[in-house]
Amino acid sequence: MKAVVCAPDAPEGTAVTDVPDPAPEPGEVVVEVNACGLCGSDVHAIEHGRTVEGQILGHEFGGHVVEVGPEARGWRVGQAVAVNPLGACGRCRACRKELPFRCTAAPNLGITAPGGYAEYVAVPADQLVAMPDGAPVEWGAHAEPLAVALRAVALAAVGPADSVLVYGVGAIGLNAIFALRAAGVESVVGAGRSPGRRHAAAAAGADIVLDTRAVSVREHVARTGRRFDAVLECSAAEGAVEESMDVLAPGGTCVVVALTSAAAKVPLGPLVGEGLGLVGSCAFRPIDFTAAVAHVTSGRLPVADLISERVGLQETPDALVRLRRPGDLVRVLTVPGADSRGPDPAG
């Protein structure tokens, strides 16, 4: 089969090549990938050389079952599925702490096991979620980033009367806006720099979208007089955590979703005196993934509107390079079948 493999010495950091087709182990099925989202974490890993030669990345995917291995009961060839890339044994300390991405007893597809930038992937059957008949198969690729957002919103512990800031409106921030809408939050404010992404934030349901190049979040709060019950920090911008802590109402929580090695200065006076919370959110639990599939397939959240481009496997190495400076690009999908089908009919 064709796959995009990591090639740290290649100019683009990845290359399209032929690799052996996966064969299902007991308890696994083979999924033909319909679409896989190109994730910023993969883009950064490739850009900074944190990949292994021959590794197949890609963890936001779905497709059809094409082969059912022994002991993989309950699945049939042709079934449309969304793939939860995070295996979880359910018994280890990491799993009990609801941190399945730290579980070492199960595969993490696209990280520790081959992922979705390929025609086929072997997937443990317990990491599949069935897509309902009639739902576009491509929607399976939307569940993973929405699951990340649902986990972050759960950690923010917000409800209908609350006001929440989504700081940074890239793919995860935009999914967070959907997740907050789904949670019935009264007021959702987005903040971002790129005009295209801010437009997408308004379309996703943000009540107000701040252009942080023109007005800071602090200035906005000083003007309106309303602090936030929670901030979802999805920007990794310098100073964003400090600013987020400054604009929280007493008892509010800052959920840091953007994965960054940068240090932040946290004001401890308000942290203690106003009972603020500061928590990191990484990945999601199995229940978040199942909930994400339900939200996506209900059709209530227009997650498909976030797609900026669909590319074939052949164009994927170039797209992964372009996403290093995304500008207005929000989400790019690799669609392995597009190589043989020709250009994207949707334009």
Which residues contact Zn ion (rule: CB under 5 A)? 39, 41, 89, 92, 95, 103, 105
Q: Would you say 56 or 103 has its CB closer to Zn ion?
A: 103
Q: Closest distance between Zn ion and the C-beta of residue 283, in Å?
A: 9
Q: Closest distance between Zn ion and the C-beta of residue 337, in Å?
A: 22
Q: Closest distance between Zn ion and the C-beta of residue 257, in Å?
A: 11
- The angle formed by the CA atoms of residues 246, 211 and 247, to the nearest 5 degrees, is 10
Q: Would you say 16 or 39 has its CB closer to Zn ion?
A: 39
Q: Closest distance between Zn ion and the C-beta of residue 269, in Å?
A: 35
Q: Would you say 65 or 148 has its CB closer to Zn ion?
A: 148
Q: Would you say 105 or 161 has its CB closer to Zn ion?
A: 105
Strands 80-83 and 128-130, bridge-based pairing: antiparallel
Q: Would you say 63 or 110 has its CB closer to Zn ion?
A: 110
Q: Closest distance between Zn ion and the C-beta of residue 87, in Å?
A: 8
Q: Would you say 41 or 314 has its CB closer to Zn ion?
A: 41
Q: Closest distance between Zn ion and the C-beta of residue 95, in Å?
A: 3
Q: Would you say 23 or 105 has its CB closer to Zn ion?
A: 105
Q: Closest distance between Zn ion and the C-beta of residue 93, in Å?
A: 8
